[in-house]
Amino acid sequence: MTYDLIVVGGGIVGLATAHRFQEARPKLKLLLLEKEARLAAHQTGNNSGVLHSGLYYQPGSAKAQCAVQGLQQMLAFCRTHGIAHEQCGKIVVATTPEEVSRLDRLWERGHANGLQGLRRLSPAQIKEIEPHAAGLAALHVPQEGIVDYPAVCARLGELIRQAGGEIRLQTRLQRITPGATGWNLATTTGPLEAKFVVTCGGLHADRLVRASGQKPAATIIPFRGEYHQIKPDRQFLVRHLIYPVPDPKFPFLGVHFTRLVNGGVEAGPTPCWPLRARVTVGPPSTPGTWRNHFVFPDCGGFSPSIPACAAMKSGAPSPRPNSPARCNDSCRSFAPPTSPSAEPASARKPCCPPASSSRILILWRIAAFCMSSTPPPPPRRPPWPSAGASAPGCWIG
């Protein structure tokens, strides 16, 4: 059988893409491939679970548009399908004069991106919202919240199946070649044919481009982010979401405190260097593969971050698994020690930092595409990104 469309990747981007295509073209013969045994097994099911509002992103950029529109769409989806979420709000706390000036820029960006209810907080006002946080100034972002992303993905999977789509787990795409009517796909569970293919491979996005015989416009640089659970008797110290002001030297939002929608509080992610497999989601002892080490030489954009990494300060990647103490140190400046539990929260993610602007474009082009309310018709060819286009900086967390 020849499918009309095969979507590769069972993270939120692949699932949302498949769902939108089905909404636009209900008769589509659609198949979604996922190499793992479950949906949302990678970034989507292991991230901070935060509903971002678009505070950080360059006004007018695809990322800002995705965040602002995506938040509204995600809230509507959660309400419709009864998925656990809460708009608890967050504060971004500046602890040095330099951070205060960066906070001013975030304030301008937040306004330009149309965030509602954005408020500057004095030290006393910080205490009203988060009694145990301290800083020179802060931003209160009431729109932000928390959500159960795995539940969102599970529901998207149900909707895809109910609409006649097929989801094949434990099926890894290996190669894509042009065929008589579209594309031939070699997979670990046998060959497939499709008129159109959309790849949404997350951290494997570049590999999937190579699997199609094309040269990727960017290479993914893997980082692993680790989270620590706050001990139950200290969780009262964090009421909402508490973030530091991100350091533009790093692609991360910084170690933050996140209340989880299903209970508990985490601190993280403390980024580690990618000396383990980029594909690994699991405890720190999970072994890597040599193949993943060879990603270094062709990582344009990685080298500038190496001196910065050497600084080993808050938010900088560490070459070793992160200890609770290091995590605590990262947060100490804006919140009191919270006694993270001795073990990192299990099954945490590899992260995909930007370093190369075009890499981010890969991910966000796809995201922008799947979040627009009226998706364009399927393209004649899978939509590979073009090289050289500029993109806004990316912050992860």
Ligand X SMILES: Cc1cc2nc3c(=O)[nH]c(=O)nc-3n(C[C@H](O)[C@H](O)[C@H](O)COP(=O)(O)OP(=O)(O)OC[C@H]3O[C@@H](n4cnc5c(N)ncnc54)[C@H](O)[C@@H]3O)c2cc1C
Interface with ligand X includes 385 (CB under 6 A)? no
In the list 7, 41, 91, 241, the residue contacting ligand X (rule: CB under 6 A) is 41
- CA nearest 67: which of 385, 396, 368? 368
Choice between 137 and 150, CB closer to ligand X: 150
In the list 5, 31, 33, 62, the residue contacting ligand X (rule: CB under 6 A) is 33
CA neighbours within 13 Å on the CB side: how many for 309? 18
Measured at the alpha carbon of residue 296, what is the angle toward residues 293 and 302, in degrees to the nearest 5? 140
Match 């939108």 to its residue by tokens.
20
Q: How far is the CB of 202 from ligand X (least distance, A)?
A: 3
How is residue 209 annotated by DSSP?
H
Do 354 and 301 touch, CB atoms closer than 8 A?
A: yes
Interface with ligand X includes 210 (CB under 6 A)? no
Do 233 and 343 touch, CB atoms closer than 8 A?
A: no
Tell me which residue has its CB nearest to ligand X.
11
**Contact letters for ligand X, residues 119-158 (x by CB under 6 A):** ----------------------------------------
Contacts of residue 12, defined as CB under 8 A and 6 or more positions apart, other chains included, come to 40, 44, 149, 152, 153, 156
Interface with ligand X includes 328 (CB under 6 A)? no
Q: How far is the CB of 148 from ligand X (least distance, A)?
A: 12
Interface with ligand X includes 344 (CB under 6 A)? no
Interface with ligand X includes 375 (CB under 6 A)? no
Interface with ligand X includes 62 (CB under 6 A)? no
Q: How far is the CB of 206 from ligand X (least distance, A)?
A: 10
**Contact letters for ligand X, residues 254-283 (x by CB under 6 A):** ---------------x--------------
In 10 A of CB 219, how many CB atoms?
A: 23
Do 205 and 257 touch, CB atoms closer than 8 A?
A: no
Enclosing H/E stretch for 369: helix 357-371
Q: How far apart are CA 74 and CA 395, in angstroms?
A: 20
In the list 14, 216, 246, 274, the residue contacting ligand X (rule: CB under 6 A) is 14
| 186 exposure class (CB count in 10 Å sphere: 0-12, 13-18, 19+) | middle
Match 């001196």 to its residue by tokens.
307
Stretch that binds ligand X, among 41-49, 102-110, 287-295, 303-311 (CB under 6 A): 41-49
What distance lies between CA 277 and its chain's CA centroid? 18
Interface with ligand X includes 349 (CB under 6 A)? yes
Q: How far is the CB of 256 from ligand X (least distance, A)?
A: 9
Choice between 269 and 392, CB closer to ligand X: 269
For residue 268, list its beta bridge partners.
256
Contacts with ligand X by CB under 6 A lie at 8-14, 33-36, 41-44, 47-50, 52, 172-173, 200-204, 208, 225, 269, 349, 351-352, 363, 396-397
